[in-house]
Amino acid sequence: MQTIRGRLTAWYSIALALTLAAFAAVLYGARRAASYQDLDQRIQSEAALTGGILTESYRARGVLVRGDTAGRPVLIPDLAALLEAVPDYLIITARDGSLLFASPDARALTFQQVEQLRLVAAAPISGRTSGALQLEPDGPKLHYALRYVTDAGPQFGAILAGANLRSAELSAEQLLSTIALILPLGLVTALLVGSWIARHALAPVDRIITEVREITDGRSLHRRLAEPMVKDELGRLTETLNQMMTRLERSFAALRRFTADASHELKTPLTVLRAGVERAITMPSLPSEALAALEETLQEINRMTELVEALLMLARADEGTAPLHRETVDLRAIVEETGETGELLAAEAAVNMEVATPADPVIVPVDASRIRQLILNLLTNAVKYTPAGGSVRLQLGPSNGRVTLTVADSGVGIAPGDLPHIFDRFWRADSARTRTGERSGTGLGLAICKWIAEAHGGTIDVQSRPGRGTTFTVTLPRETTAPTPGGPSS
């Protein structure tokens, strides 16, 4: 079971089922015992009542037994008629054990069964006065009470009152079937109620999950979860998460500050270094070896300056201190200008370059230098990752009320597994390749492109097929819009 909700519901239902089953068992037992007791009381009082009637009648009339037509002793008709009204099995025996009276229920039994009853009643006085008796063959099981008649004349032996045990069992069984009917209903209700309770109890957890999920990167770390008024477990969890986010936000800010400060501090010594090397390089009569070493150093210094500048820009972007200086410009001018630089690069790499702009002006409010940087980054990549003889195409065109810039090349392409990472900082497809070798780079170019596009409220996308080429598509809104949240991931 995947969710706590499911587990809670299951536990709740099992606990309830066990409770119900135990309750039902106790109820059934109690009901059964009570029914047996009722039955016992009933036949005891039937026997007592019959005994009372016999005693009273004897006092009033004297003789209660007389011979029937066959000469067998029986009760006098008046008395017999009176006793007919007694329910259940009732028999009265004479002192010699012969049968004086049998109730309608008893008369309905077979001769053999009546004989069984008679024999019980005719047992010596010391015998049991109550018990259970199975009437043979396949007759009912009776619970009986025996009462010896001592004060109704010399003829009487005993009264036996008995009732079918089934009647006692029946009421308990009825209860059992009612329970069997109610139990599944109760369980289904428990399942529904349980899952409802669990869902409601855990709804705040789902809310917390959603809220935490929305905090995707360093830029949304300023957000806090809504803290409930009640400081229950979830309230405390929310509080703890919020405190954790405060700490995270602080460390992120410190990290950005550090990167920004470090890059800034590196700029001055780099400038001094470059000036020094440039001065040394122009010195006359320098041995060619020293010249080569100085040139290499200068190249490295330039690369490092670029890196430091890129780092500083990204750090400032993260801090929110890299504002855009928007001005309304014709994007065609920027595209053509950067296209020319691209053509120089392309010519150097023996790559064919093409620039396409629409006939109508494309006026948009952008930070011209940033957009220039974005296009140049994409063009540099396109030329860098396209072998000699390939082609690069830079195109500007409006689409759906937005402006679209595409840089397409016929180069080496990007493996599908690499696509999700190419906008990450310092990520390079072939990191094994040395920084100074062919296709050198730091892996910050696309991260900067992404930030520039998003800071303008636009997007940047890539499509690529290994060996066939890559197309980067940048869309920019025609009007100034707030930058999309998120920005380059921190």
Ligand X SMILES: Nc1ncnc2c1ncn2[C@@H]1O[C@H](COP(=O)(O)OP(=O)(O)OP(=O)(O)O)[C@@H](O)[C@H]1O
Candidates 444, 455, 460, 476: give the one binding ligand X (CB under 6 A): 444
Among 131, 59, 68, 123, residue whose Cα is nearest residue 95: 123
**Distance in Å, CB of 391 to ligand X, minimum:** 12
**Distance in Å, CB of 386 to Mg ion, minimum:** 13
**Distance in Å, CB of 378 to ligand X, minimum:** 7
Residue among 93 and 386 whose Cβ is closer to ligand X: 386
Interatomic CA distance for residues 151 and 253, integer angstroms? 111
Q: Which option in ligand X, Mg ion, none does residue 395 bind, with CB closer than 5 to 8 A by kind?
A: none
**Distance in Å, CB of 469 to ligand X, minimum:** 8
Provide the token pair at 483.
């930058």
Contact between 412 and ligand X by CB under 6 A: the answer reads yes
Residue among 403 and 460 whose Cβ is closer to ligand X: 460
Interatomic CA distance for residues 112 and 118, integer angstroms? 10
Contact between 411 and Mg ion by CB under 5 A: the answer reads no
Q: What DSSP element (H or E) covers 210?
A: helix 165-214
Contact between 80 and ligand X by CB under 6 A: the answer reads no
Q: What DSSP element (H or E) covers 364?
A: strand 363-366
List, in sequence order, every residue forming a beta bridge with 146; answer none if it has no partner. Answer: 160
Contact between 342 and ligand X by CB under 6 A: the answer reads no
Q: Which option in Mg ion, ligand X, none does residue 331 bind, with CB closer than 5 to 8 A by kind?
A: none
Residue among 35 and 410 whose Cβ is closer to Mg ion: 410
**Distance in Å, CB of 361 to ligand X, minimum:** 28
Query: Interacting stretch for ligand X, rule CB under 6 A, among 7-15, 19-27, 77-85, 420-428?
Result: 420-428
Please return the burial class of 80, using the count of CB atoms within 10 Å of its CB with bins 0-12, 13-18 and 19+: middle
Handedness of CA 357, 362, 366, 368 (dihedral sign): positive
Amino acid letter, residue 279 = R
Residue among 113 and 470 whose Cβ is closer to Mg ion: 470
Contact between 441 and ligand X by CB under 6 A: the answer reads yes
Cβ(76)–Cβ(63) below 8 Å: yes
Interatomic CA distance for residues 162 and 66, integer angstroms? 25
Residues in the chain: 490
Residue among 40 and 306 whose Cβ is closer to Mg ion: 306
Q: Whose CB is nearest to Mg ion?
A: 445
Handedness of CA 343, 345, 346, 350 (dihedral sign): positive
Contact between 409 and ligand X by CB under 6 A: the answer reads yes
Residue among 23 and 426 whose Cβ is closer to Mg ion: 426
**Distance in Å, CB of 467 to ligand X, minimum:** 10
**Distance in Å, CB of 470 to ligand X, minimum:** 4
Backbone angles phi, psi at 281, to 5 degrees: -65, -35
Candidates 411, 458, 487, 488: give the one binding ligand X (CB under 6 A): 411
Amino acid letter, residue 307 = L
Candidates 153, 162, 218, 445: give the one binding ligand X (CB under 6 A): 445
Residue among 50 and 381 whose Cβ is closer to Mg ion: 381
Residue among 242 and 380 whose Cβ is closer to ligand X: 380
Residue among 135 and 394 whose Cβ is closer to Mg ion: 394
Interface characters, 465-484, with ligand X (x: CB under 6 A): -----x--------------
Please return the burial class of 180, using the count of CB atoms within 10 Å of its CB with bins 0-12, 13-18 and 19+: exposed
Interatomic CA distance for residues 433 and 412, integer angstroms? 15
Candidates 428, 454, 455, 474: give the one binding ligand X (CB under 6 A): 428
Candidates 381, 395, 406, 473: give the one binding ligand X (CB under 6 A): 381
Q: What DSSP character marks residue 420?
A: G
Provide the token pair at 484.
């999309």
Helix H, strand E, coil C: the string for 85-109 is CCCCEEEEEECCCCEEEECHHHHCC
Interatomic CA distance for residues 395 and 366, integer angstroms? 18
Give 3-state DSSP helix, strand, coil % of the chain, rounded to 5.
Answer: 55, 15, 30
Q: Which option in ligand X, Mg ion, none does residue 367 bind, with CB closer than 5 to 8 A by kind?
A: none
Interatomic CA distance for residues 248 and 197, integer angstroms? 35
Interface characters, 362-401, with Mg ion (x: CB under 5 A): -------------------x--------------------
Contact between 443 and ligand X by CB under 6 A: the answer reads yes
Contact between 445 and Mg ion by CB under 5 A: the answer reads yes
Interacting residues toward ligand X by CB under 6 A: 377, 381-382, 385, 409, 411-414, 422, 427-429, 441-447, 470
Interacting residues toward Mg ion by CB under 5 A: 381, 441, 445
